[in-house]
C-alpha cells in the first residue's frame, strides 16, 4: 500500500540538499610555455622587453645585476565570454584557452612590475602555483588550475638591469684586457670603432674579418650569433674578438671562434682542429 509523504518533509529535504556545499571544480592542466608565449597576445604584452624562461636563465642570487630577486604574480582568466581583462567578448573559453589567458594575465603583471622597477629584462621565469615552492624549473611548461568560474596561473621571475645573452659565452682567452684598444688587430679606423663598441650596452659582440674589416652588434641577446652568421652569409671569414665583458680572441687561428656553432653546448669553444 502506497503512503503519501507530507509536503513539509519534501520541502525540508529540498532545503537541506540546497544548503549542502557543492564540490568545487579544480582541475590541473600542464601546458606548453612555448606555445602560449609565442601567441600574438603574449608578444604584444612583452613588446621589446626580453623575457627568459627557466631557472637556468637566471643569474646567481648575489649578482649586482638583479633589481628584484623574487617576484611572484597571479594570473586569472574568467570562464565566461565577456572578460574585459582578456580583451574579448564571445562564447565561453575552453579550459586550454582559459589557461592561456590566465598565463597572459600573469605575464602582463610581471611585465608591468618590471617596467615600473626599471628592469631591462625578466629572467628565470618559472611556473610556481600559489608560490608553493615547487616550481617547474626548466620553464618548458606552466601549471594552470581551472575552476568552475575562473582559471589561475602563477609565475615567478627575477628582474635584472642588463639584457642577458641568449647563450653562455666561452671564458676570456687572456689575449688582452677588454679596454686595451691598441691590442685589437685592426687599422686605426677599426680601433676607433672598437672604442665606440666599448660604450655600448650588453649583450654585445665585435668581430674581426680576415680582410681587416669589422662588425658589431649591441643590446641584442643574439649579438654574437648574429655577427658570426652575417659573416657566413657574406661568404667571408671572421672571428669574435670580444663579447660582453670579455676578449675572446686568440693569437692562434685554430683557437678563434669563427662560427655560431662554436657557441653551442656548454659555452666552451673547442679548437677548430678538434671539431669535425
What's 125's domain CATH number?
3.30.110.70
At 49 the pLDDT is: 84
Q: Tell me: do 153 and 191 sit in the same domain.
A: no
* Whether the model pTM is above 0.85: no
Asked, for residue 142, whether it belongs to a domain, the answer is yes
pLDDT 10s digits, 118-169: 998 898 899 998 887 777 888 899 999 988 888 999 999 999 887 766 667 8
Asked, for residue 238, whether it belongs to a domain, the answer is yes
- Non-local (6+) Cβ contacts of 217 within 8 A are 204, 205, 223, 224, 226, 227
Q: How many CA atoms lie within 13 A of 130 on its CB side?
A: 4
Asked, for residue 15, whether it belongs to a domain, the answer is no
For residue 142, the cross-strand partners are 31
Q: Tell me: do 197 and 264 sit in the same domain.
A: yes
d(CA 100, CA 75): 10
Q: Tell me: do 33 and 93 sit in the same domain.
A: yes
Q: Tell me: do 61 and 147 sit in the same domain.
A: yes
What does the block give as the cell for 136?
617547474
At 57 the pLDDT is: 63
Pairing of strands 51-53, 121-127: parallel
Q: Tell me: do 156 and 257 sit in the same domain.
A: no
Q: Tell me: do 136 and 236 sit in the same domain.
A: no
Q: Tell me: do 107 and 35 sit in the same domain.
A: yes
Do 215 and 223 meet the contact criterion of CB atoms below 8 Å apart? no
Asked, for residue 170, whether it belongs to a domain, the answer is no
Q: Tell me: do 155 and 212 sit in the same domain.
A: no
Asked, for residue 18, whether it belongs to a domain, the answer is no
Q: Tell me: do 28 and 142 sit in the same domain.
A: yes
Strands (E) in the chain, as ranges, are 27-32, 51-53, 66-78, 82-83, 88-89, 121-127, 141-146, 150-160, 204-209, 214-218, 238-243, 246-247
- Judge residue 246's burial from the number of C-beta atoms within 10 Å of its C-beta, 0-12 exposed, 13-18 middle, 19 or more buried: middle
d(CA 239, CA 259): 8
- Domain span holding position 123: 24-160
Asked, for residue 12, whether it belongs to a domain, the answer is no
Name the domain count of the chain.
2
pLDDT 10s digits, 59-85: 655 555 789 989 999 999 986 544 444
For residue 86, give the nearest of 71, 74, 76 by alpha carbon.
76
Asked, for residue 2, whether it belongs to a domain, the answer is no
Amino acid at each position: 500500500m502506497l503512503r503519501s509523504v507530507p509536503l513539509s518533509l519534501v520541502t525540508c529535504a529540498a532545503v537541506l540538499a540546497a544548503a549542502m556545499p557543492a564540490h568545487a571544480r579544480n582541475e590541473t592542466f600542464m601546458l606548453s610555455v612555448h606555445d602560449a608565449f609565442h601567441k600574438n597576445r603574449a608578444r604584444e604584452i612583452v613588446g621589446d622587453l626580453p623575457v627568459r624562461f627557466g631557472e637556468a636563465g637566471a643569474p646567481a642570487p648575489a649578482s649586482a645585476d638583479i633589481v628584484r630577486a623574487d617576484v611572484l604574480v597571479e594570473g586569472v582568466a574568467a570562464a565566461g565570454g565577456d572578460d574585459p581583462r582578456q580583451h574579448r567578448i564571445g562564447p565561453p573559453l575552453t579550459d586550454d584557452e582559459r589557461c592561456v589567458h590566465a598565463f597572459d594575465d600573469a605575464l602582463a603583471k610581471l611585465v608591468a612590475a618590471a617596467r615600473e622597477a626599471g628592469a631591462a629584462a625578466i629572467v628565470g621565469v618559472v611556473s610556481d602555483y600559489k608560490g608553493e615552492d615547487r616550481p617547474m624549473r626548466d620553464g618548458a611548461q606552466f601549471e594552470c588550475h581551472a575552476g568552475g568560474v575562473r582559471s589561475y596561473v602563477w609565475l615567478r621571475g627575477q628582474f635584472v638591469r642588463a639584457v642577458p645573452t641568449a647563450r653562455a659565452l666561452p671564458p676570456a682567452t687572456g689575449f688582452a684586457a677588454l679596454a686595451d684598444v691598441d691590442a685589437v688587430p685592426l687599422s686605426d679606423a677599426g680601433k676607433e670603432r672598437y672604442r665606440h663598441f666599448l660604450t655600448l650596452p650588453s649583450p654585445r659582440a665585435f668581430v674581426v674579418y680576415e680582410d681587416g674589416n669589422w662588425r658589431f652588434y649591441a643590446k641584442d641577446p643574439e649579438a654574437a650569433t648574429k655577427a658570426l652568421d652575417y659573416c657566413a652569409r657574406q661568404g667571408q671569414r671572421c672571428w669574435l674578438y670580444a663579447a660582453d665583458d670579455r676578449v675572446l680572441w686568440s693569437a692562434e687561428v685554430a683557437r678563434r671562434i669563427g662560427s655560431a656553432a662554436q657557441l653551442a653546448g656548454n659555452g666552451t669553444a673547442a679548437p677548430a682542429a678538434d671539431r669535425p
